[in-house]
Amino acid sequence: MFLALRELSFARGRFALMGGVVALIAILMVLLSGLAVGLANDGVSGLQRIKATSFAFQKDVSKDSAFSRSVVGPDAVEAWQKQPGVAEAAPFGNTLVNARTSRGVEIDLALFGVETDSFLVPQPAEGSAPAHEGEVAISSTAAEEGVEIGDTVTLEPSGTELTVVGVLADQNTFGHVDVGYLPLRSWQEIKAGVQPGDDVPSRVYDEFTAVAVKAKDGSTVDLAAGDKAAGTSSLTREDSYGASPGYTAETSTLQLIQVFLYAISALVVGAFFTVLTIQRRQELAVLRAMGASTRYLLRDSLLQSFVLLVVSAGVGIGIGLAAGGAISSTPMPFALEAGPIIGATALLIVLGLLGAGVAVIRVTRIDPLTALGGSR
């Protein structure tokens, strides 16, 4: 490390410039990571909170729009309840609505219809869970917009009224829309477009979006066998995220941006050390002439790169976390989590070292005669 540290101290301006570039990449990495997590939470946090391990949708329904197109009936629930490894299976309804509260607050809701005695009923942080028709428990983000317990939510254009009886813990959103839990029977009437005072056909109460399946602890449910018996198409809870509006497109776009960011970081670091190696050619040749091994020179160059990358990335991450903390207080879907940031930082350093390693390979080709003035 002697040569590497001396060069870092001597050429402070040169390495500061490179460190600044790496720090900027690290800042962008943190912000992209926070945006990716925030968008994912805003799109599927409602599904993440559900205790189901899988959802059984209508047979052959399009996987990317299953929650909006699927229709299944009670027979599917009964079939799934009999499957080996299944602890519980219950109807689940999902639909998006526009509403206005008695306080004049306009709000969009993703209504989750559940049976009031099923495992799908959430435990509210405030108030109570919906136990009777016409009651709804809303997400905490909806409460932040001005909806309170006791408010009456009027759905448009049907005019159906729901009474807010509880506020859920944590974020519960679906497709960037606040979630509201209500009894399945009320959901079925809303889904069918039933208006107050209308006669409701009996078939309305036999239709819902999917069967929510909960596996027994330590058991694995054979989804293919269950689908064959129930005439459904199943997705694990994680796979069902792709059926949330816009989720796949958003996550794919951000992942592509992150891939390009990492590739750019490797190229930038590699280009910097390529130029640096060319400038150091005479000095490195002298060291070779004095007996320094190729392994020593490579190790020295890579350790120099590692120090630069770690220090610069640390500075960039610190600035990125500070900026992310400020962004988190805004309505923008942004959330900082340690896991993605640590993983992205490690990847940034590894790719940077790979770029530097490719650049310093030319060290192995330095001829000691160059330092001695000889000609080849």
- CA atoms of 198 and 176, how far apart (whole Å): 32
Q: Are 94 and 111 in contact (CB under 8 A)?
A: yes
Is the pLDDT at 293 greater than 80, yes or no?
no
Q: Hey, what amino acid is at 271?
A: A
Model pLDDT for residues 232-277, shown as the tens digit of each residue: 999 999 999 998 888 888 888 888 988 888 888 777 777 777 777 7
pTM: 0.82
- 118-127, 160-169, 351-360: which range is least confident on average? 351-360
Is the pLDDT at 179 greater than 70, yes or no?
yes
Predicted confidence at residue 376, as pLDDT, reads 47
Report residue 78's pLDDT band, with 50, 70 and 90 as the boundaries. Answer: very high
β strands within the chain, DSSP E: 54-58, 86-101, 106-114, 124-127, 135-138, 152-156, 161-168, 173-174, 177-183, 210-215, 232-236
The mean pLDDT value for 48-68 works out to 92
Which one-letter DSSP state was computed for residue 72?
A: B
Predicted confidence at residue 48, as pLDDT, reads 93
Predicted confidence at residue 375, as pLDDT, reads 47
- CA atoms of 101 and 90, how far apart (whole Å): 30
Predicted confidence at residue 203, as pLDDT, reads 87
Q: Are 59 and 231 in contact (CB under 8 A)?
A: yes
Phi, psi (rounded to 5 degrees) for 345: -65, -45
Predicted confidence at residue 298, as pLDDT, reads 76
